[in-house]
Amino acid sequence: MLKRFIYAALAVLSLIYSITVFLVGSGTFSFIIWIFVSIFFGFLWFMEKKKLWGKVPTIIRKIFRGLVALGLAVFIICQGCILTQFFSKGDDGADYIIVLGAQMRDWGPSVVYKYRLDAAVEYLNNNPDTIVIVTGGQGANEFISEGEGGKAYLMEQGISEDRVLVEKESLDTKQNITNAFVMIEDDENTKIGIVTNNFHLFRGILLAKRYTDADITGIAAFTEYQFLPNNMVRETFGILKDIL
């Protein structure tokens, strides 16, 4: 009885959360993940309610449980990796900081992007010799490139134009980073900070260290707590993709 209640509650909550994520209109399809999660728990509820597990061959049950355990283990490891950079504030004195792009709205940076830019503003105000590179191309649903929109926002916050470089061709995190590196002369003595939201920072640093010998540190920006589950689950898939 308790199992059925838990499975039913998780199925309903996952479905409600998928609707919440969809209504944000982030431009991604991550809400689909939660629909599948809801279906998964609905399946478990159905199997328990109808007492069907006893009719399933033992080998099938063992394979199913093994796959669930493996998936859970991989998920927990990835979450642990994400948390290693969750509260990073970077080291002072960076030569450059790179702000990873995110969606631009008609009225300005999306909430996710604004938090990244605000973290960059704070760092730049405390480190007046640091140059910032804002990154990101123009998507089909954006009126301006993310790099250009980020520059406009930084200047509105009082950052001098001569401290802002713009990369406006990249379409994903990897290109954000590699295209930014092309714009600077980096070596093992160069200090570079990667600026992105806390859930995204581990992956950003992981990618950056592949493409440079520079000293890389992370600067974590805030994320609204209600969207952390979605972002951290989605990030798990991103980490696995990059590692594989």
Fold entry, domain 96-243: Rossmann fold (3.40.50)
Query: What DSSP state is assigned to residue 157?
Result: T
Confidence of residue 27 (pLDDT cuts 50, 70, 90): low
Determine if residue 98 is left, alpha or beta; phi over 0 gives left, psi from -120 to 50 gives alpha, anything else beta.
Answer: beta
Helix (H, G, I), strand (E, B) or coil at 187: coil
Is 222:114 a contact under the CB 8 Å cutoff? no
**Per-residue pLDDT at 243:** 84
pLDDT tens digit sequence for 181-227 = 999 987 788 999 999 999 999 999 999 999 998 999 999 999 988 88
**DSSP secondary structure, 9-71, as one string:** HHHHHHHHHHHHHHHH--SS-THHHHHHHHHHHHHHHHHHHTT-GGGS-HHHHHHHHHHHHHH
CB atoms within 10 A of CB 13: 14
Indicate the residue type of 178.
T
d(CA 133, CA 135): 6
Domain ranges of the chain: 2-84, 96-243
Is 48:3 a contact under the CB 8 Å cutoff? yes
Quick one: average pLDDT of 104-112?
Answer: 90
pLDDT tens digit sequence for 137-164 = 998 788 899 999 999 999 999 999 999 9
pLDDT tens digit sequence for 29-88 = 889 999 999 999 999 999 999 999 989 999 999 999 999 999 999 999 999 999 999 999
Whether pLDDT at 25 is above 80: no
